[in-house]
Amino acid sequence: MIKPEATPFQPQISIVMPCFQQVAFLEEAVRSVLEQPVDVELLVMDPGSTDGSRELLQSLKGEFGERLILHFAPDRGQSDAINRGMGMARGRILAWLNSDDRLRPGALAKVASCFAGDEPLWIYGRAGMIDGDGRPASSLIVKYKNWRGRHFTPFKLLTENFIPQMSTFWTRSLWLQAGELNLEKELDMDYDLWFRFARIVSPRVVHEILADFRIHGEAKGSVRAYEQLLAAYATARSHASEYKIRGKIALAVHLLCSWRTRILYYFLKP
């Protein structure tokens, strides 16, 4: 008797995870995605970790099977890794999650309920902040960012990047229309993408925490915080001209917010 062929797994959501030398946080990040009760695939892009990450991922592959896709190949940096992963993704809802962050339980079910069709659409929710041990951290920063993100306007986006990348999701059609991440942007590729998304459609705001952003000694946001703020200002400048005088006002506000952020992070970040 010929057995019927198994139906190939077709994910509703695809999450790309760029990964390099993050074995300390990697398993928690992977499980935060694949233990969600939805049809989700996780594509982990590792260009050459030597800290045990690849061995851990192979072990997890045995547990999660075809829902965990491993891509071990050199890349041109984080943006390139994400772009490659998006090109391999099969879901109609897309996002990326860094390998030191994590999704909150139940987050993807809430996300899926926001996407009824395949038209260009994006959403962002709130994010928590955790330290290297997974404990809540810097509640004042979290409260401020969530307050800033409660409503969206392009003008507000010019003043600072208040959208939490790890809590942002979009449709495949929007990604294809907006284009891939800019490979020249290493520290604020998400900020540039939000501007391009917003030209097509305004986001829907979800007033719930969907993910946690981890602060630790090796995180880019900690080690290169000043560079990241400078890069964000340059990105805002590149998008401000279309708003004319309001764009110039927004850039002045952006500079003030940037200095305030430097001061706050100096005292409040772990």
Q: Which tens digit of pLDDT belongs to each residue from 203-219?
A: 999 999 999 999 887 77
What is the distance of C-alpha 181 from the center of its chain? 12
Higher pLDDT, 15 or 6: 15
- Please say if the pLDDT value at position 264 is more than 60: yes
- Please say if the pLDDT value at position 265 is more than 60: yes
Pair 71, 45: CB distance under 8 Å? yes
Identify the band that residue 166 occupies on the pLDDT scale cut at 50, 70 and 90: very high
pLDDT score at 7 = 67
Give the whole-angstrom CA distance, residue 258 versus residue 77: 25
The token duo for 261 is: 């952020």
pLDDT score at 1 = 52
Q: Which of 260, 22, 54, 21 is nearest to 132 (CA)?
A: 22
Pair 139, 69: CB distance under 8 Å? no
pLDDT score at 218 = 74
Pair 15, 97: CB distance under 8 Å? yes
pLDDT score at 75 = 96
Give the whole-angstrom CA distance, residue 23 versus residue 25: 5
Cβ neighbourhood burial of 80 (10 Å; 0-12, 13-18, 19+): middle
| Model confidence pTM above 0.75 | yes
- Please say if the pLDDT value at position 241 is more than 70: yes
Neighbours of 74 (CB within 10 A): 9
Give the whole-angstrom CA distance, residue 46 versus residue 95: 17
pLDDT score at 142 = 86
Q: How do residues 49-61 score in pLDDT, each as one tens digit?
A: 999 999 999 999 9
Average pLDDT (110-123) is 95
DSSP assignment, residue 224? T
- Please say if the pLDDT value at position 221 is more than 80: no
Amino acid at 264: L
- Please say if the pLDDT value at position 20 is more than 90: yes
HSE toward the beta carbon, residue 249, CA cutoff 13 A: 7
Pair 104, 213: CB distance under 8 Å? no
Give the whole-angstrom CA distance, residue 90 versus residue 231: 32
Identify the band that residue 225 occupies on the pLDDT scale cut at 50, 70 and 90: confident
Residue recorded with tokens 């890069």? 231
Identify the band that residue 84 occupies on the pLDDT scale cut at 50, 70 and 90: very high
**Burial annotation 134-170 (CB, 10 A radius, 16+ → b, else e):** eeebbeebbebbbebbeebebeebbbbbbbbbbbbbb
The token duo for 87 is: 């090109």
Higher pLDDT, 268 or 66: 66
Identify the band that residue 224 occupies on the pLDDT scale cut at 50, 70 and 90: confident
The residue count of the chain comes to 270
Identify the band that residue 137 occupies on the pLDDT scale cut at 50, 70 and 90: confident
DSSP string, 129-181: EE-TTS-B--HHHHHHHHHHTTS--HHHHHH---S-GGGEEEEHHHHHHH-PP
